[in-house]
Amino acid sequence: MFEQVISAAITVIIGVGAALAYFWGSNWLLDRFLLTGPDDSAQKSLRRDRARSTIRPWLFLLPALLFLSIFLVYPVFETIRLSLMDSGSKNFIGLSNYIWAFQDPAFLQSITNNIIWLIIVPAVATALGLLIAVIADRLWWGNIAKSLIFMPMAISFVGASVIWKFIYDYRGVDTDQIGILNAIVQGLGGTAQAWITLPVWNSVFLMIIMIWIEVGFAMVILSAALRGVSEETLEAARIDGANDIQIFFGIMIPQIMPTIIVVWTTITIKVLKVFDIILAMTNGQWDTQVLANLMFDWMFRGSDFGRGSTIAIIIMLAVMPIMIWNIRQSNKEEGTK
């Protein structure tokens, strides 16, 4: 254990040292070998200056580009290739994996569940986040409230799963419940249930965990956007006799619409990738399977890299429109120079 801590510390030192040595050393070499002196002809020093300023950006970028290409760009193409191969990635089998996917009940179940998640989670999280942002900004203890509601963002999905599994806990019909949900249900005269094993509703109980985490994110971003709504417009509307609700829907919402879309799409992407909650709570049993967990299943338990890759590609396809939209937005600001 002690050795492990030491080795981690050494890695930090070596890693940071190597990076620094690379950046410093390569720049030094560049300046050393393409040195321009006072004796050089004007043409020669111009040429060397130009060569230096052509090479230097790439020296700065090289490590980042290497990491990005090996760990993110190349795998995208490799995953596409593997999705056309059989389980051992030896033989080309064309689109068979995709045909299998759309006939497999587990896959169809996962995709249905993913769609339900995509409809409910971003909408509820954004709406609740907006509601809290609007209320909290008007109350004197609003900042404390926001800080507390924001807190689950720091908690892992697995940690949150433990927290909520404890809430949904079920101990037989006739015993005292230690899960607060069943205690409340019993207190109101209902019967305690094993919520996590009740199909359809159990997915909702899993979604609540994700909503619990993401509302804080939506709230923080939307609260900042609301502060940017111009005070003069609001004042003018008040003078014209608009009430709070009209101002909210008529002026605030349209003005912060771009931010609402950003929040919505960000949560959408997170929902597409969510896997920890399902793995920890049900592991896909009782009809709760989703794509990311199904992929994990095929990758490790099924050890079928072909099918695993196919599911990954389908998740990727779902993210694609958002990705293209993001790139367009960023290009509009920068221009692809």
Partner 1 sequence: MIVKALKKMTWGRAAAHALLLFLVLIWTLPTVGLMISSLRDKDQLSVSGWWSALTLTERNEVARLPKADKQLEENGQFIIRGELFEAGSGRTVISFGTSANSIGQAKPGDIIPMRDNGNISLSENGSYEWVSNEKFTHTRGPRLFYEAGIPPSFSLDNYFEVMQSQGIGRSFINSFTVTIPATIIPILIAAFAAYALAWMSFPGRGWIVAIVVGLLVVPLQMSLIPLLRMYNTIANITGGQAKSYLGIWMAHTAFGLPLAIYLLRNYMVGLPREIMESARIDGASHFKIFTTIVLPLSFPALASFAIFQFLWVWNDLLVATVFLGNTDSTLVLTGRLRELLGSRGNNWEILTSGAFVSIIVPLIVFFSLQRYFVRGLLAGSVK
Minimum distance from residue 107 beta carbon to partner 1 (Å): 14
Amino acid at 265: T
Of the two residues 167 and 204, which places its CB atom closer to partner 1 in the complex? 167
Buried b or exposed e, range 20-56, using 16+ CB within 10 angstroms: eeeeeebeeeeeeebeeeeeeeeeebeebeeebeeee
Amino acid at 20: L
Of the two residues 164 and 195, which places its CB atom closer to partner 1 in the complex? 164
Give the SS3 label for residue 92: strand
Of the two residues 42 and 138, which places its CB atom closer to partner 1 in the complex? 138
Buried b or exposed e, range 192-224, using 16+ CB within 10 angstroms: bbebbeeeeebbebbbbbbbbbbbbbbbbbbbe
Minimum distance from residue 251 beta carbon to partner 1 (Å): 18
Of the two residues 53 and 232, which places its CB atom closer to partner 1 in the complex? 53
Minimum distance from residue 250 beta carbon to partner 1 (Å): 18
CB contact set of 235 (below 8 Å; sequence gap of 6+): none
Place of tokens 């990635």: 89
Of the two residues 77 and 232, which places its CB atom closer to partner 1 in the complex? 77
Minimum distance from residue 33 beta carbon to partner 1 (Å): 15
Q: Which helix (H) or strand (E) holds 66?
A: helix 42-68
Minimum distance from residue 122 beta carbon to partner 1 (Å): 13
